[in-house]
Amino acid sequence: MRLLRADRGRTRPAPAPVALKLLVAGGFGVGKTTLVGAVSEIRPLHTEELLTEAGRPVDDTAGVEGKRTTTVAMDFGRITLRDDLVLYLFGTPGQDRFWFLWDELARGALGAVVLADTRRLQDCFAAVDYFERRSIPFTLAVNCFDGADRYPEDDVRAALDLDPGVPVILCDAREKESVKGVLVSVVEQRFAELAHRAG
Ligand SMILES: Nc1nc2c(ncn2[C@@H]2O[C@H](COP(=O)(O)OP(=O)(O)OP(=O)(O)O)[C@@H](O)[C@H]2O)c(=O)[nH]1
Ligand SMILES: [Mg+2]
């Protein structure tokens, strides 16, 4: 006991890591659940439901024909980027009928990833608009599906009419290191913005 008391003050507990909340958004079937699952160090929470015959008219699986499930509430995962920096990832549902959840999920978010598939670029317009309107910094990550044509980042930027400050990154949502690069770019943007504001 005495030893512990004597040590008190000499060994300071490590400060709690900074925790940031990031959203992962984008159109239906673009790979949001896959991305969260690829990097999460906890077993990610998924709220997947089977796609059904009844949903076929609204759940457009063109381009992701192998898709069997869809997210109906959110994905949740966590990744420690550095000892002092933890990210909580919230994946949004991709379908328009779940828009009512977005404001709840976006509360307190410091940044976002908008995932895009170049075969269905228009599917990410709504997410881009959403974050632009709320001035939430985001990175546009092109999920390079097998068989999809590759386009240079500048072409994607022009097609989406993105602000020059928005990073555009080609990624593979199944690959941990690739996804980490995307997340780092969101965090860097946020920190650069804070540094700029602090003068
Ligand atoms: N080839 C390839 N397939 C992928 C990639 N990312 C996701 N997939 C597949 O594409 C399908 C869609 O992935 P999900 O992660 O469920 O997409 P989502 O954006 O969460 O879909 P919703 O929540 O329904 O909007 C799944 O069958 C994945 O296995 C990728 O980078 N490359
Ligand atoms: Mg999903």
**Integer Cα distance of 133 and 125 in angstroms:** 12
Contact between 79 and 86 under an 8 Å Cβ cutoff? The reply is yes
Range of the domain at 179: 18-198
Contact between 71 and 55 under an 8 Å Cβ cutoff? The reply is no
**Integer Cα distance of 155 and 68 in angstroms:** 31
Instruction: Answer whether residue 13 is part of any domain.
Output: no
Q: What is the CATH number of the domain that holds 103?
A: 3.40.50.300
DSSP assignments along 34-60, one per residue: HHHHHH-SS--B--EEE--STTTTTS-
> Tens place of pLDDT for every residue, the chain, 199 residues?
555 565 666 667 777 888 999 999 999 999 999 999 999 998 877 787 887 766 666 666 666 677 788 877 778 999 999 889 999 999 988 777 777 888 888 899 999 999 999 999 999 999 999 999 999 999 999 999 998 889 999 999 999 999 999 999 999 999 999 999 999 999 998 888 888 888 7
Instruction: Answer whether residue 117 is part of any domain.
Output: yes
User: Which residues, other chains included, contact 111 with Cβ-Cβ below 8 Å and sequence gap of 6+?
Assistant: 20, 22, 23, 136, 137, 138, 139, 186, 187, 189, 190
Instruction: Answer whether residue 165 is part of any domain.
Output: yes
Contact between 161 and 121 under an 8 Å Cβ cutoff? The reply is no
Instruction: Answer whether residue 102 is part of any domain.
Output: yes
Instruction: Answer whether residue 143 is part of any domain.
Output: yes
Q: Is 137 in the pocket of ligand 1 (CB under 6 A)?
A: no
Q: Is 34 in the pocket of ligand 1 (CB under 6 A)?
A: yes
* Domain count along the chain: 1
Identify the residue whose C-alpha is closest to ligand 1 atom 12.
Answer: 29
Instruction: Answer whether residue 5 is part of any domain.
Output: no
Instruction: Answer whether residue 135 is part of any domain.
Output: yes
Task: Name the helix (H) or strand (E) containing 90.
Answer: strand 85-91
Read off the pTM. 0.86
Instruction: Answer whether residue 107 is part of any domain.
Output: yes
Ligand nearest 38 Cα, by number?
1
